Amino acid sequence: MRRRTFLQSAPAAAMAAQPAAGPGIRLGLDSYSIRNLGWKAPKLLDYTASLKLDAIQISNLNEYESLEPEYLRKVKEQSARLAIQIDAGIGCICPTAAGWSPRFGDAGQYVLTGLRVAKAIGSTSMRCFVGGPPDRRGTLPIEAHIENAIKVLRAVRSQALDTGVKVAIENHGDVTAREVKTMIEEVGKDLLGSNLDTGNPMSVLEDPMLTLEILGPYVVTTHIRDSALYEHPRGAAFQWVALGDGSMDFPALVTLFKKACPQAAMQLEIITGRPPQLLPYLEPDFWKAFPKLPASDFARFLALAKRGRPFTGPMVIAGTGQQPPEFEAALTLQQRLDLERSLEYAKKVLGVGIRWKQG
């Protein structure tokens, strides 16, 4: 484990830059950004309001103290009183993926439970995902996992449509934007949309700008974060960082976002405290997971890697296994600090957010 100081401010010159976009895009946070705090929905909503944000994605069912109608009604009333939009979420919906858990019943029941909760709290979307990066290298090809997730959604299609809530599939480091698009079109755009994630494309050798270009027309909710991507002797490596600390051209991304999916909130999912992840694409075995990746898509990713550089700022890095209490406390604080400075960057450099400009 590496131990580093975690407090870092956005560069003064960047903070003084002119906003790249107008006030039309709503700004929010994804609850996973501050997962170590263990806050439930009421506390998360109060925190979101305190930051003068427009929205929050409550991304898992375990962030509610109860799934009973009366409790969920109170959450909805609180969000209305605070004028905070909630985007709902659940986890893995593919029963053959490594991340699948039967905690909420079979996959179809899980989807319907998530949709019931989403409707009860006033959300119009529910995020979920097929699997994760390991599923591209498992016994089954990724196409089999995608098809199994499609079968789950088709099996509950009628009941799902009755809720009026759109399912939003996340590109979760398992699937490319083109695979997500195919999945949406096969299930039907009336039921399925995109939970656009700008950090996970790194795992599948994809420039996040390409991800937005492909999925923009389907986006209903988002996870927005930055990554430091750079060349490595074995290929490339990337590390998730606070907004503005990485390789992404966020002014350009915001401009495209405003054209492609202005109805969606930019929900920041800031994930720091993890070491760089290696993408050894110079080794033949690596490509077994990407037999159909278009050369033009990889060329754009390669160009992004060539422009990038490693993150050299201070950061607490989590090790494996149980952490000493002092390290856990530092990681928890870092989550909150990196989220808040990322939100400040989004507001003052990118010009994103409605509520903070009104009061």
Between CA 264 and CA 260 the distance in angstroms is 10
Question: What pLDDT, on a 0 to 100 scale, did the predictor assign at position 18?
Answer: 36
Q: How many CB atoms lie within 10 A of CB 219?
A: 21
Q: Which tokens hold the place of 166?
A: 């759109």
110 with 104: CB under 8 angstroms?
yes
Distances (CA, A) of 114 to 41, 63, 214, 340, 352: 15, 12, 26, 28, 29
Q: What share of the chain is helix, strand, coil (3-state, %, to 5)?
A: 45, 15, 40
Residue 295 CB coordination number (10 Å): 7
Determine the pLDDT at residue 26.
Answer: 97
Domains detected in the chain: 12-357 (3.20.20.150)
Tokens of 165: 């809530």
C-alpha 264/C-alpha 216 separation (Å) is: 10
Cα distance between residue 349 and residue 250, in whole Å: 9
pLDDT score at 95: 98
**pLDDT given at position 20:** 40
- Give the count of beta carbons closer than 10 Å to the beta carbon of residue 306: 11
Rounded to 5°, the CA angle 291-297-300 comes to 135
Which structure tokens are listed for 71?
Answer: 């409790």
Residues in the chain: 359
Query: What contacts 40, CB < 8 A, 6 or more positions away?
Result: 63, 64, 65
| 3-state SS class at 62 | helix
pLDDT at 324: 87
The mean pLDDT values, 10 residues at a time, for the chain of 359 residues are 37 37 80 98 98 97 98 98 98 98 95 98 98 96 98 98 98 98 98 98 98 98 98 98 97 97 97 97 97 97 98 91 88 98 98 89
Q: Which amino acid is it at 67? A: L
